[in-house]
Amino acid sequence: MLFESISFVMTNTCSAACDMCCFSCSPQKKDQLDKELVKDYILQASKLGMTKRTAFTGGEAIIYFDQLKECMEYANSLGIPSTLVTNCFWAKNYDEGYKKLKELKQAGLVGMTYSVDKFHQQYVPYESVKNAIMIANSLGIQITINLMDLKDGKSVYDSLEALRPYIYHNEIMMHPCFPAGEARNHIKEDQYIYECSADSALCPFDKSITVLYDGTMMICCSQFSHEIDAVKVGKFGETSLEQAIKNFNDNDIIYVLLSNGFGWYTDLARSLGKEIKEKYVICCHLCHQLFTDKDFLEKAMPYIKKEAQRLRLKHFMGIG
């Protein structure tokens, strides 16, 4: 498998402490990745052809502005563009926000995702988001406004109304809130939106390796991934990217998942007496249920290994 990019969850420090944060980030948390190691892994990514992008997120990576800028500049020097996920807290003052974003653009920033919902807006006023949209648009930086919603629909509705007409001509993505991290403690079960079919779900693997703020290396950046051992491929500073990719390629669980989809696993789980719901919030929610269940994995591994062997042999022989 060829990987295309690398992502860094630079820190769990955040300007907010949202009730749905998967990593329980807050102003009090202070973990962050060492910038020199980040640059070393960007160099490794470049040598392996993983040059589609280098993505930065948190927490709020922009809190440690100088480190973020330096890492982006290094990626840019290797011909790798950067992207950033943010809640827009830095744009409360338009002129100050413009100065920061202009510097990051010069450092190689080409795209941003703005997190907008009822949870983030408890800490970040809509005026900051409006400023951030206008600043990015004026600088020619592509933005995606990421809206997270609950069953009552208010989060998306209120956000869209509050940001009208600033959202026009920008990409908008809407997601259901996930029952992960802080959301499990603060959101009632009947508010989750269950629309992902368990039997037809496919893993949205994006050919990227993600490095978490604590150094965990994963082949996934979902809100559940840090709790799923099957998607972990190494330790930052100890495992090279080349070895992490080898660990991925040797992973029977993931190989079968990417080859067969979740339907193969849901059929197996039911045959082993495990309850599988008809629908989940997202496929990552189902992935979490399956691959954090130690009893299921113990019973399923002989079948998984056999299927992985069959699939690898089929691939080797060029069949299908």
Q: Token match 């969850």: residue?
A: 9
Find the mean pLDDT for residues 153-177. Answer: 94
Q: What is the CA radius of gyration of the chain?
A: 20
The strand pairing partners of 86, in sequence order, are 114
The strand pairing partners of 147, in sequence order, are 116, 174
CA dist., res. 60 & res. 172, Å (int):
21
Return the number of other C-beta atoms located less than 10 Å from residue 17's C-beta.
16
Name the percent of the chain lying above pLDDT 70: 99
The pLDDT of residue 195 is 93
Q: Is the pLDDT of residue 120 over 80?
A: yes
How confident is the model over 57-80, as pLDDT tens digits? 999 999 999 999 999 999 999 999
Q: Is the pLDDT of residue 131 over 90?
A: yes
Name the percent of the chain lying above pLDDT 90: 95
Q: Which two tokens stand for residue 99?
A: 């100065």
At residue 320 the predicted structure's pLDDT band, cuts being 50, 70 and 90, is low
CA dist., res. 103 & res. 109, Å (int):
9
The pLDDT of residue 221 is 84
CA dist., res. 259 & res. 119, Å (int):
36
Please give, one letter per residue, the 3-state secondary structure of the chain.
CCCCEEEEECECECCCCCCCCCCCCECCCCCECCHHHHHHHHHHHHHCCCCCEEEEECCCHHHHHHHHHHHHHHHHHCCCCEEEEECCHHHCCHHHHHHHHHHHHHCCEEEEEEEECCCHHHCCCHHHHHHHHHHHHHHCCEEEEEEEECCCCHHHHHHHHHHCCCCCCCEEEEEECCCCCCHHHHCCHHHCCCCEECCCCCCCCCCEEEECCCCEEECCCCCCHHHCHHHEEEECCCCCHHHHHHHHHCCHHHHHHHHHCHHHHHHHHHHCCCCCCCEECCHHHHHHHHHCCHHHHHHHHHHHHHHHHHHHHHHHCCCC
Find the mean pLDDT for residues 140-147. Answer: 97
Q: Which two tokens stand for residue 199?
A: 């039997």
Q: Is the pLDDT of residue 269 over 80?
A: yes
How confident is the model over 222-238, as pLDDT tens digits? 888 899 999 999 999 99
The strand pairing partners of 145, in sequence order, are 114, 172
Domains with residue ranges and CATH for the chain: 5-193 (3.20.20.70), 253-316 (no CATH)
Q: Would the pTM count as exceeding 0.75?
A: yes
Find the mean pLDDT for residues 279-285. Answer: 95
Find the mean pLDDT for residues 82-99. Answer: 98
Q: Is the pLDDT of residue 82 over 90?
A: yes
Measure Cα distances from 315 to 75, 129, 318 in Å. 35, 48, 5
- When the pLDDT of each residue in the chain is averaged and rounded to a whole number, the result is 96
Q: Is the pLDDT of residue 266 over 70?
A: yes
Q: Token match 């309850």: residue?
A: 275
At residue 317 the predicted structure's pLDDT band, cuts being 50, 70 and 90, is confident
49, 2 Cβ separation under 8 angstroms: yes
Find the mean pLDDT for residues 204-222. Answer: 94
Q: What's the CA angle centered on 123, arms 29 and 167, to 5 degrees?
A: 120
Q: Is the pLDDT of residue 1 over 80?
A: no
Q: Quick one: CA torsion of 119, 124, 128, 134, rounded to 10 degrees? A: -30
Find the mean pLDDT for residues 273-294. Answer: 96
Find the mean pLDDT for residues 266-274. Answer: 98
Find the mean pLDDT for residues 157-174. Answer: 95
The pLDDT of residue 315 is 78
The pLDDT of residue 294 is 96
